[in-house]
Amino acid sequence: MALHTWWTTFGTEVADTAGLIPVLARELASLAMAGALPGMTLIGLRQSTELGYAAVGLEVAVERPQDLAHPIRAIEQVAVVLPYAGGQPSIVSLREDFPDTLHQNWSPPGGPYALCIDDRPWAEARLTTSANDIARRIQLWLAKAARGELHDPAQPPDPLFFTSQLGLVLPQAALADTKEPGEVAGIVRPDNQNLIISRPADPSDRQPPAFTVLAFQAQPQTMARLRHAPDTLAALADELGKCGIRLMDELKNRLKAWAGLEHADVRRLASRLAVVVVFPVAEGQCRAVNDFRAFLTFDTAGEIGVALGVLCANNSKVGDKRAYMTAIPEGAPGNQPLRIEPAQVHFSLNRDLAAAIAGHATPDRRRAVLVGAGSLGSQLSVALAREGAFAWTISDDDFLLPHNLVRHALFVGDLGAPKAAALADTLAGLLDEPVDAIQCNVLTPAADCQTRLNTALTEAEVIIDASASVAVSRHLSDLPNAKARRVCAFFNPSGTSVVLLTENADRSLTLRDLEAQYHRLVLTDAALAGHLAASGPGVRYTGSCRALTNRIPASSAAILSALVAKGIVSALAEDEATITLWTLHPNGEVSRVQRRGAPVVHLDLGAWTIAYDAGLLDDLAAMRRAMLPNETGGVLLGIADMSRKSVHIAHALPAPEDSRASQTGFERGVVNLTEQVAAAVAATMHQLRYVGEWHSHPDCTSSMPSSVDLMQLRWLGHELENEGLPGLMAIAAQDDRFSFALSRPAKANTGDAQ
């Protein structure tokens, strides 16, 4: 079967895996070459130094049912495309006729179809991404496509995922009547060139509107989805032709109708065009959902008319020089491609929203850096600022979009503004003090922000992480130069609880340590059952893969944010580390669970760091004692951070009921274990995973691994190899002596923890 021409023309062939530049590409290719990826065969390696990408070609054996939902083949050829500089891999199908399924990304015209195997932002995904993980996700994606199970119940059936730098905020009114073109005036803020905020144009305005909106409705019956992002007007016309829209004919008719010397004619033809297409979503229970796509022209309507041969510029001495006349006879369309830029459509919200937060002032001048000016960050900082607290620096890289207004502390006047700057302005207004805004992502700050960010973090007395990002939280936790205590606050996904992790004053317990203890608390405290359960489908605010916002009522967000604001102040008044959860019950009651942080031990065992806390050791010791004189044991759950090569053991499960235990040995059983591990993984929203095994030694014996243990550890290493993890074994012995052993490399490294 011929491979997609993209593959054969992409860069040059690479003979040896060692020649691949991206580390992940090398890993993936070597695993495939070694036959370590079941169902995957290497078909080639290519890379392009010019483009800065490497591609690993793979044949994937697909798990298929007999009756296919989509014509996925038993063997599919795909390429994993990886940037030299590291970053999110793209997966493209190497056949020209890859079927139209859900969960694909738009690709450039003529390019191969792109599978969306992972919709998480790269900063989050890289924590768990390994070559094995990529391989498995590709296989799962294809298996689900074959079964018709790609559809995520949390999302309405979606046309192809599409991300654009550009956003167009469009009033609904601009689309109200498709017979008369809607005219909108647009403004682009100097601090966010990528968002065009439009409002209905004022006909008396002498300035031409930014855009004239041409809205089209795609026919549901004939609807074929756009699979490539068109980059010229001609390409768009081709694509829309498949949806029953004759774009070029429509355009020519309208442009001819607009020709003339009248003021309105001149104004329209001097503006650019925004072609907005309404795609009815065809499948599933969300029939009423429309998907909006906008395509902005670079040229004005008049220039386009000239290029299409239907207009000519007003070269006569009569009338406005900017006017256009109908070309008679019609000329041939020019060859110059008319470039267009796709934009995400954001609709302006109705004005039925308000958030009133009551507060009272208490003075506190400590320097605080707030990372994440989202709903929680903005609300807690506004609440604290209203109490007169903290000299703030706000860091955030995002811009305020319409859907943010539901729970955010900022208002419609700041629409499109960088959240950091707008929030800083608001806080500054409350405090009547200047508040610094650093518009950056703390994980990847631009060079010009780096110094300011470093200074702010170094000088801070409190760092408040409200980013709702595990990646950011761990990054802040690890910052070497900052002395400030860190606190981290986030809502659970259903928005019924808020969590506050506070480091102790000497920082011997960091946010990373507390993260693991938080998960154990969630698993073991009956009051927290369902804490991390997802609440059902989110709300889509634009047509992209990640564009889901949680359904959390503003009132809950406000209550929980205010509780956290209070909690930060009281937690900082004490020196201990604490984990606090407030849960808002349907009857309006709020319950609180609070635990002191337990001391943590970090062990460097070769390439990996292992961490565990006193709470875990207490659990192990208690389970050991309960089974004496016999041995006992079970499964270890923990947080594995691939990018840091660290395993934080969070929780130990007791022995399954079919385990065989004696005074000299222990063999862990299997009854209910898969269910228990799956339940724990689900209860922590995939933050915890299986990381290894523990068992006890009887009285009067050492905690060091026996020869049987070492054999077992080797087996464990072998099993966990597929997960990209070392085998990990914990042993609990008499008098609270423990040892932890890792399988990798071949020789076991042991650390004795008294």
Partner 1 sequence: MTAKLTFHPLGNADCTRFDLADGRKLLVDYADMRNSADSSDLRIDLPEELKADLRVAKRDYFDVALFTHLDDDHCCGSGDFFWLEHASKYQGEGRIKIKELWVPAAAILEDGLDDSARIIRQEARHRLKKGSGIRVFSRPTKLKEWLEKNGLTLESRAHLITDAGQYVPGFSTAGPERVQFFIHSPFGWRQNENEVVDRNQDSVVFQATFLEGARETNALFMSDINSDSIDQIVQTSKRHKNEDRLRWDVFKIPHHCSYLSIGPEKGEDETEPTADVKWLCEEQGQERCTMMSTSDTIPIKGSAEDRDVQPPHREAAAYYKRVAKMKDGAFKVTMDLPSASKPKPTTIQITNRGATLLTVSATVGAASVISTPARAG
Q: Please list, in sequence order, all residues whose beta carbon lies within 8 angstroms of the beta carbon of residue 76, skipping any fewer than 6 positions away.
A: 59, 60, 62, 93, 95, 98, 142
Query: Does 690 interact with partner 1 (rule: CB under 8 A)?
Result: yes
Residue 349 touching partner 1 (CB under 8 A)? no
Among 377, 543, 597, 698, binds partner 1 (CB under 8 A): 377
Query: Which one of 9-17, 42-50, 373-381, 442-450 is the stretch in contact with partner 1 (CB under 8 A)?
Result: 373-381
Give the distance, in angstroms, between the CA of residue 49 and the centroid of all CA atoms in the same chain: 28
283 scored as a contact of partner 1 (CB under 8 A): no
Q: Map tokens 């981290």 to a residue.
A: 488
Amino acid (1-letter code) at residue 634: G
Q: Which stretch binds partner 1 (CB under 8 A): 192-200, 234-242, 345-353, 663-671?
A: 663-671
What does the H/E/C string look like for 633-673?
EEEEEEEEECCCCEEEEEEECCCCCCCEECCCCEECCCCCH
Q: How far is the CB of 34 from partner 1 (least distance, A)?
A: 9
**Contact region for partner 1 (CB under 8 A) — 280-288, 335-343, 439-447, 462-470?**
462-470
**310 vs 680 by CB, closer to partner 1:** 680
Q: Which of 5, 8, 13, 65 binds partner 1 (CB under 8 A)?
A: 65
Question: What residues from 477 to 496 belong to the interface with partner 1 (CB under 8 A)?
Answer: 489-493, 495
d(CA 478, CA 609): 14
Contacting range for partner 1; rule: CB under 8 A; set: 130-138, 266-274, 334-342, 447-455: 130-138
Give dist(CA 509, CA 502) in Å, integer: 9
CB-nearer residue toward partner 1: 371 or 457: 371
68 is an interface residue for partner 1 by CB under 8 A: yes
Report whether 621 contacts 730 (CB < 8 A).
Answer: no
Q: How far is the CB of 147 from partner 1 (least distance, A)?
A: 6
* Of positions 669, 676, 704, 752, contacts partner 1 by CB under 8 A: 669
Contact partners, residue 685, CB within 8 Å, separation at least 6: 493, 532, 534
Closest distance of CB 404 from partner 1, Å? 11
Provide, rounded to whole angstroms, the least separation between the CB of residue 398 and partner 1. Answer: 11
Nearer to partner 1 among residue 119 and residue 250 (C-beta): 119
Q: How far apart are CA 656 and CA 671, in angstroms?
A: 6
Cβ of residue 496: shortest distance to partner 1, in angstroms?
11
Query: How many CA atoms does the CB half-sphere of 407 hold within 13 Å?
Result: 22
With a CB cutoff of 8 Å and minimum separation 6, the contacts of 678 are: none
Q: SS3 for 313-324, per residue?
A: ECCCCCCCCCCE
For residue 736, the one-letter residue type is: D
3-state secondary structure of 489: strand
Which has the closest alpha carbon to 560: 713, 686, 377? Answer: 377
Please identify, among the stretches 176-184, 208-216, 612-620, 669-677, the one whose residues bind partner 1 according to the rule CB under 8 A: 669-677
Q: Which stretch binds partner 1 (CB under 8 A): 61-69, 225-233, 502-510, 629-637?
A: 61-69
Binding mask 545-584 for partner 1 (x = CB under 8 A): -----x-x--------------------------------
**Of the residues 74, 361, 539, 622, which one makes contact with partner 1 according to CB under 8 A:** 74
Strands (E) in 203-336, as ranges, are: 211-217, 272-280, 290-300, 311-313, 324-326
Q: Looking at 133, 238, 364, 752, which residue binds partner 1 (CB under 8 A)?
A: 133
749-753 and 737-742 beta bridge pairing: antiparallel
Q: Running DSSP on this structure, what letter comes out for residue 403? A: G
Residues in the chain: 754
Residue with tokens 């756009």: 226
Is residue 658 within the footprint of partner 1 (CB under 8 A)? yes
Between CA 488 and CA 467 the distance in angstroms is 8
First to last CA, the chain: 62
Binding to partner 1 (CB under 8 A) within 91-110 occurs at 103
Residue holding tokens 């300035």?
207
Q: Which is nearer to partner 1, 189 or 551 (CB)?
A: 551
Closest to partner 1 by CB, 69 vs 554, is 69
Q: Where is 61: in which H helix or E strand?
A: strand 53-61
Nearest to 466 by CA among 400, 420, 432: 420
Establish if 441 lies at the interface with partner 1 (CB under 8 A): no
Residues 15-54, one symbol each (x = binds partner 1 by CB under 8 A, - = not), give --------------------xx-xx---------------
670 is a contact residue toward partner 1 (CB under 8 A): yes
If the CB atoms of residues 205 and 658 are measured against partner 1, the closer one turns out to be 658
Choices 65-73, 220-228, 290-298, 310-318; region in contact with partner 1 by CB under 8 A: 65-73
* Distance between CA atoms of residues 34 and 349, nearest Å: 55
Please tell me whether residue 286 binds partner 1 under the rule CB under 8 A: no
For the bound state, the minimum distance from the C-beta of residue 270 to partner 1, rounded and expressed in Å, comes to: 43
Is 671 a binder of partner 1 (CB under 8 A)?
Answer: yes
# chain residues binding partner 1, by CB under 8 A: 67
The identity of residue 185, as a single letter, is A
Of 107, 220, 238, 240, nearest to 161 by C-alpha is 107
Contacts with partner 1, residue ranges (CB under 8 A): 35-36, 38-39, 61, 63-69, 73-74, 103, 117-120, 124, 128, 133, 136-137, 139-141, 143-144, 147, 150, 152, 154, 372, 374-377, 466-470, 489-493, 495, 532, 534, 550, 552, 658, 669-672, 674, 684-687, 689-690, 722-723
